[in-house]
Amino acid sequence: MSIQKVQEALNSLVKLHEALLEISREKTEVIKEGKVEKLQAILVKERKRIRELEQAETARIQTVEAFVKDHPSISDPSITSLLEHLDKEEEKTELEASAISLTEAITKLKQQEQLNQALINQSMQFVQLSLDLMNPSLKNLNYGEGKAASSAGKRSVFDSKA
């Protein structure tokens, strides 16, 4: 197995993460607009991309394991180990660039999703505040003072004079 297959697997992961990042940016705009139907459609698209990403990650793991199996001098199936054992400088540069691109894409996606989470939390707080303002408090439930309720409570169910 050649390092080119590992390179292709990493590039595939980079593309999928960038596609997820674009979906996440769309999601941010839809959250700002407050359009639930659009958000649901975007979430369906996002789930589809996540499944594709999981499949690509599984393929990458298998590719790296096959490469390590073909090269017994490599003990650890990490990018660092692969870079240390590559002879051609061009292959090293390409693999390192792909690994850096993947790391950057993952970091950007994580930041975007944190922003989305913060926006959703803020929306939930606004909804809760609106509900609290619409519901009357228990103190204001009765119009009069509590004396009328207490005098009625002293009366017995049975009239003892009868």
pLDDT (tens digit per residue) in 81-135: 888 888 888 888 998 999 999 999 999 999 999 999 999 898 888 888 888 877 7
Residue 160 in domain: no
In this structure, are residues 82 and 60 in contact, taking their beta carbons and an 8 Å threshold? no
Residue-range definition of the domain harbouring residue 117:
3-133
Domain count, the chain: 1
Residue 118 in domain: yes
Whether the predicted pLDDT of 50 surpasses 80: yes
Residue 66 in domain: yes
Residue 156 in domain: no
The Cα 63–Cα 95 span in angstroms is 14
Of 64, 16, 34, 44, the closest CA to residue 124 belongs to 34
> 36: domain CATH number?
1.20.58
Residue 148 in domain: no
Residue 127 in domain: yes
pTM: 0.75
